[in-house]
Chain A
Amino acid sequence: MATMNMIEALNSAMDVALTRDPAVTIFGQDVGYFGGVFRATDGLQRKHGLTRVFDAPISEGGIVAVAVGMGAYGKRPVVEIQFADYIYPATDQLISEAARMRYRTGGEWWSPITVRSPYGGGIYGGQTHSQSPEGIFTHVAGLKTVIPSNPYDAKGLLIAAIEDDDPVLFFEPKRLYNGPFDGHHDRPVEPWSKHAASEVPEGHYVVPLGKANIVRAGSAVTVLAYGTMVHVALAAASETGIDAEVIDLRTLMPLDLETITQSVSRTGRCVVVHEATRTCGFGAELAALVQEHCFFDLEAPIERVTGWDTPYPHAFEWDYFPGPKRVGDALRRAMEA
């Protein structure tokens, strides 16, 4: 076991994947010699060589297209889009091509690609360094969407994503790269080393895709969260004293519906939390599923705590970010209904 922050855990996952499978190829903007603007690929080119880990032109559409072509050849490309806010030029290749390749060819070809991308707010990133576009991609049949919330899961999920033969979008909450963040921006942030999930095996292991994790067992209300909001939800539970069961979804597609419905059927209440804007966000799908499967067990309307339906603002970071106060208020509303 080693102690790793999330960046180191991701770096370790890619190192393990490169070592185990000669088909794994990593590229993206600044990921080669420099090691990535967030250092996630630091040292990998030096260790594994120029043709395994290399820099790419500033062309998200080109990067994903080339990955699809490499996947068709038999490679296992792991590409980086520098910020999730800049994934849109690649959406045609992701939605029209990678997602449909297996289906449209009757299984003759597929796209075993992993697209890593830092996402989420809470860092004064403004409009184009803070977005959470996961809901756009969970809507697309054929794509998988994964979001870790700690170093242990980050490494295990990333190895599982790389080894998966379907295209996986792997969104990394950059606010969690160096330490857990519960939304209390006025307090000093602790490093991952003080957190149990920073204990990361150095070798190969996987955290299976499609399996949620109950990070706090509780009986009063179920909180469905992922990424940074897992830590915000834990803080809200502790500060309100409400015995919330906090579920870290980890994989949004395919979703671990069983863990969700078992929990809500027991608690009778549900709060859905995400940073992304509300309307047609992934929370809407979660609320609909809970309503369909747990209607007769529900004792209160399902609450959604999300980003507002506005572009992500700079100066109003903490008015926008769904922090522990807003989540705590929702927990109380769910309990009072």
Chain B
Amino acid sequence: MLKNSTRLHIPEPGHRPGETPDLSHIKVPPAGEVRRPAEDTDPAEIRDLAWALIRVLDDAGNPVGDWNPGLPAALLEKGLRAMMLTRAYDARMVRVQRQGKTSFYMKSTGEEAVAVAAALALEYGDMCFPTYRQQGLLVARDWPLVDMMNQVYSNSRDRLKGRQMPVFYSSREAGFFSISGNLATQYSQAVGWAMASASESDSRIAAAWIGEGATAEGDFHHALTFASVYQAPVVLNIVNNQWAISSFSGIAGGERTTFASRGLGYGIPSLRVDGNDFLAVYAVTRWAANRARSGLGPTVIELFTYRAEGHSTSDDPSKYRPGAEAAAWPLGDPIERLKTHMIGAGLWDEERHAALEKELEDEVRAAGKESESYGTLKEGARIPASTMFDDVYKEMPPHLVEQRRQAGV
């Protein structure tokens, strides 16, 4: 007989600051263990994959199992380069934020594979609906660093004309949809874009990203419902980096089941993947993209990773989680793991790696110097304040003409 005693359960992470992190509860299955089903497999046959963890690179960096995408050396090198460039770019942007040259920045450290591998697995014309932590998409699509920096500095060459906070990039040309501060809104918009593409029998698909924290938003449910109902050609990525600012994934509903499994309730095939394994992320993205492009509908992918640094330059993670947790993360670092693989395959060596690191640092520094010559938030050239009244509407209505006059700009 059950006792009549209710209690309110408040999820708490295993460890807080000052404690030694113990991540032994995270089950890391051996690489190569999970089968790779055919892309047109009946979704009912692969429900177990929503609780599995697709991994290609083993601890020694060897690619194993059905999911090994067998990528050519040039593509691996491109991926490694883009991940390293993203990390170098992040490092410089935090430095200039600390110097007061801009107001804010958000790194993607530890999550570079999530964006870069996906970008390389998608076609260039596919439209990405990112969050603020997929800058690697732009880098992997060879978007100029100077242009990204111009946005961070809100300088005279900022394509967003100084209107958006740093990192809220937008590039129609690079297939990188405008980032909004409002979480999850882009997730359901991506489904609409995919529906429009399908209604034109266009071969382009959409890909969307959301953090595990934002899966609690209504738009997550809207996106999955509409994607399922209309069988939209969209890849729905959930980046589970364990932390939503200070709240651990349990607060988002991660204690009872995986985030990938949420897709199953909507009838959407759902995969769970090692987000720090470049080859695995590439392989599952390609699998889902092929399904979408063949008219087989949407796929949910949970990318299991770890937010290695603070949420943003306004955040101090030492106030809510153990400092040693990132180092204890059992899935390691995406750049290190790909590097180990490439060295093991005889495609890379420490000397070339060090040389590339230096080359990318120089590239970032040169881009930074160029961008700063167009101004920073506090100094130098900037876009005239009169432009703040432009683009509210396609044509400026009379009341804005009048307010621009009153502003005296």
Contacts and interface: CB of A to CB of B under 8 A. Distances in A.
Interface of A: 25, 51, 57, 59, 61-62, 65-75, 77, 89, 92-93, 96-97, 100-110, 141-142, 144, 164-166, 210, 253-255, 257-258
Contacts of A253: 397
A57 B225 contact: yes
Contacts of B193: 69-70, 72-73
B202 to A, nearest CB: 8
A96 B168 CA distance: 14
Given A57-B225, A61-B222, A92-B182, A142 B393 contact: yes
B246 interface: no
Contacts of A70: 192-193, 195-196
* Top 4 A-B residue pairs of the complex, sorted by shortest distance between their CB atoms: A69-B192, A62-B222, A66-B192, A65-B188
Contacts, number: 140
B178 A108 contact: yes
Contacts of A68: 189, 192
Contacts of A69: 129, 188-196, 206
A330 B391 CA distance: 40
A91 to B, nearest CB: 11
Given A61-B218, A75-B196, A166 B180 contact: no
Nearest to A142: B392
B5 interface: no
Contacts of B129: 69
Contacts of A25: 196, 199
B394 A110 contact: yes
B225 A96 contact: no
B328 interface: no
B189 A51 contact: no
B226 A106 contact: no
Given A104-B170, A107-B391, A73 B196 contact: yes
Contacts of B391: 102-103, 106-107
Contacts of A254: 393, 397-399
Contacts of B199: 25, 51, 75
A109 B172 contact: yes
Contact of B222 (A59, A103, A255): A59
Interface of B: 127, 129, 158-161, 163-164, 168, 170-172, 177-178, 180-182, 185, 188-197, 199, 206, 218-219, 222-223, 225-226, 229, 390-394, 397-399
Contact of A104 (B160, B195, B397): B160
Contacts of B219: 61-62, 65, 92-93
Contact of B225 (A62, A101, A102): A62
Contacts of B194: 69
Contact of A59 (B181, B226, B392): B226
B226 A57 contact: yes
B398 A97 contact: no
Contact of B226 (A62, A109, A142, A165): A62
Contacts of A97: 180, 182, 185, 189
A165 B394 contact: yes
A58 B218 CA distance: 13
A41 B157 CA distance: 46
A64 to B, nearest CB: 9
Contacts of B188: 61-62, 65-66, 69, 93
Which of A68, A73, A93: most chain B CB closer than 10 A?
A73
Contacts of A108: 159, 170-172, 178
Contacts of A258: 398
Nearest to B165: A104
Contacts of B197: 73
B393 A72 contact: no
Contacts of A104: 160, 163-164, 168, 170, 178, 180
Contacts of B172: 105, 108-109
A93 B178 contact: no
A102 B393 contact: yes
Contacts of B189: 65-66, 68-69, 72, 93, 97
6 contacts: A62-B188, A66-B188, A68-B192, A70-B195, A97-B182, A106-B161
A72 B197 CA distance: 11
Nearest to A50: B199
Nearest to A67: B192
A141 B191 CA distance: 26
A68, A69, A107, A142 — which one has the most chain B CB atoms within 10 A of its CB? Answer: A69
A105 B170 contact: yes
Nearest to B173: A108
Contact of A101 (B158, B178, B195, B206): B178
A103 B163 contact: yes
Nearest to B181: A96
B222 to A, nearest CB: 3
Contact of B393 (A66, A106, A144): A144
A166 B393 contact: yes
Contacts of B206: 69
A69 B225 CA distance: 15
Nearest to B178: A105
B340 to A, nearest CB: 39
A101 B206 CA distance: 18
Contacts of A166: 393-394
A125 to B, nearest CB: 26
Nearest to A52: B199
A312 to B, nearest CB: 25
A163 to B, nearest CB: 11
